[in-house]
Structure 1
């Protein structure tokens, strides 16, 4: 069977071996996932020197190839993401998923270009109605920007931080702190959060959980699969 090629572009380095199994499990078996990384040509020292967030920049958190966490400017990484979109299209991708829940400007593209943030926010807004939603982001430096982004999307949120790159324990602890919060459900607001973390967060918080990596994969499967 000939499978349809789709690209997954991480804002960190590829391959995202921590993400691959979850994505493939949620994607139609008619789709072939090929990964690209915005930071593939950079060292950790390069990222810290060239992409450090300036005052007012959106802060993004991702993963280097060796598994280490890296923090950088959302604005400064955009040209590198655009270069990978261009490359993926040249190499035959029929759709491109940006594997990050951050906010991005409109990028140049010829095939469907899928950003998780608007999908996640739209689904959460539709499900929550007038109720609040609990949100977990990777870094405390992202709490206020996440609150502002979600509010702009019309969703009342309670935001806490726990990094998916520091293990499942921190995610479980953060979720446990949301038990009894009265939130309609919980959103794990980073593509780094795994299905195992979703399950642990659900058990610890007593809340239903939206996971962006599987949500996006299922939407793309509906479109192309």
Structure 2
């Protein structure tokens, strides 16, 4: 069988030999069935040429080719990532894999494409049903606290921050009430997951394992048929941080690269994040509840989010990056 040609793309610099070999080891087909190539959005840049995040810009924590880690603005990464993906789309790869979380912008490619954040979002959406309490652990992008951890608890109705910790063991302790735990970054290894599982006695899943599962699904598609274009995939107000649902700050917290919301869309989404129903929002704004539904749907579509709860989870995570 001809090896599958896969382009692995990082938001930092290639090669990511701390990530890609473990991803390949998680594939049922085995690493010999994959011909990997690696690319980075920051390739070719010196550390001095990498733009620092703006004051209110979302931050991403990533690795350079030297092994050093940097904090970079999400907007700067997005502006370099899109042309890289479009260039790779013309290079004849069987599959392109974006090996990161924290990038919410959708990308339309002809090549089969695994979007790391979208794969993780789909997994979360499938699990947060009923009484499931999903614990999420993610790295804090702060240069003075390298790889410190934030934690969240999410269920079908709400998501809330549960703490921060400089040690993995302390972060694990904050997720004791969770039914299962997701380590929400490709920086978390399988060894770290086994450690957290031993500490908590809970099932633990890494973003790496979810992305590897998505690669396996696409590999099956490739082996079964010719490659074809694929398409990318009531809240409790007391769980919100005090300023999180205010329309005057909502725009500053939206993911970089998101299409700009209109003032009315910001008003409607902010109200939805506070837990208000469509009829309540409509009466207060003097519009019909059907119009509210349209504004809400357009706002979520622009953010590439399936629900207000998904937006809140992103805001909590990205607010600490």
The residue number in structure 2 matching 1:174 is: 171
The residue number in structure 1 matching 2:267 is: none
The residue number in structure 2 matching 1:167 is: none
Cα shift at 1:160: 4.6
SS of alignment partner, residue 122 of structure 1 = helix
Task: Work out the CA distance in 2 between the residues paired with 1:182 and 1:23.
Answer: 29
* C-alpha contact 1:133 1:157 (8 A) present in aligned 2: no
Per-residue Cα deviation, 1:165-224 (whole angstroms, up to 9, x for no partner)? xxxxx323421x235x31111111111111111111111222211211121112121222
SS of alignment partner, residue 87 of structure 1 = helix
- Structure 1 residue 99 corresponds to structure 2 residue 94: no
Task: Work out the CA distance in 1 between the residues paired with 2:99 and 2:88.
Answer: 14
Residues 1-225 of structure 1 aligned to structure 2 (within 5 Å)? 1-27=1-27, 28-29=29-30, 30-47=33-50, 50=51, 52-129=52-129, 130-139=131-140, 156-158=159-161, 160-161=163-164, 170-175=167-172, 177-178=173-174, 181-225=176-220
* C-alpha contact 1:82 1:108 (8 A) present in aligned 2: no
Per-residue Cα deviation, 1:53-109 (whole angstroms, up to 9, x for no partner)? 223322111111122111111122112112221232233212211111113322242
Higher relative contact order (CA 8 A, sep 6+): 1
Task: Work out the CA distance in 1 between the residues paired with 2:9 and 2:137.
Answer: 22
* C-alpha contact 1:140 1:160 (8 A) present in aligned 2: no
Cα shift at 1:161: 4.8
Structure whose CA Rg is larger: 2
Q: 1:118 and 1:73, CA in 2 relative to 1: closer, same or farther beyond 3 A?
A: same
Alignment RMSD, CA only? 2.9
Task: Work out the CA distance in 2 between the residues paired with 1:220 and 1:161.
Answer: 32
Q: Please, which runs of 5 or more residues in structure 2 have no aligned partner?
A: 221-321
Per-residue Cα deviation, 1:14-73 (whole angstroms, up to 9, x for no partner)? 1101112211112333332211111111111211xx2x2223322111111122111111
Task: Work out the CA distance in 1 between the residues paired with 2:74 and 2:119.
Answer: 19
Task: Work out the CA distance in 2 between the residues paired with 1:125 and 1:104.
Answer: 15
Task: Work out the CA distance in 2 between the residues paired with 1:11 and 1:154.
Answer: 32
Q: 1:5 and 1:158, CA in 2 relative to 1: closer, same or farther beyond 3 A?
A: same
Cα shift at 1:128: 3.4
Task: Work out the CA distance in 1 between the residues paired with 2:10 and 2:85.
Answer: 11
Cα shift at 1:162: 6.1
Q: Please, which runs of 5 or more residues in structure 1 have no aligned partner?
A: 164-169
Q: TM-score, normalised by structure 1?
A: 0.81
Task: Work out the CA distance in 2 between the residues paired with 1:140 and 1:159.
Answer: 17
Task: Work out the CA distance in 2 between the residues paired with 1:45 and 1:71.
Answer: 12
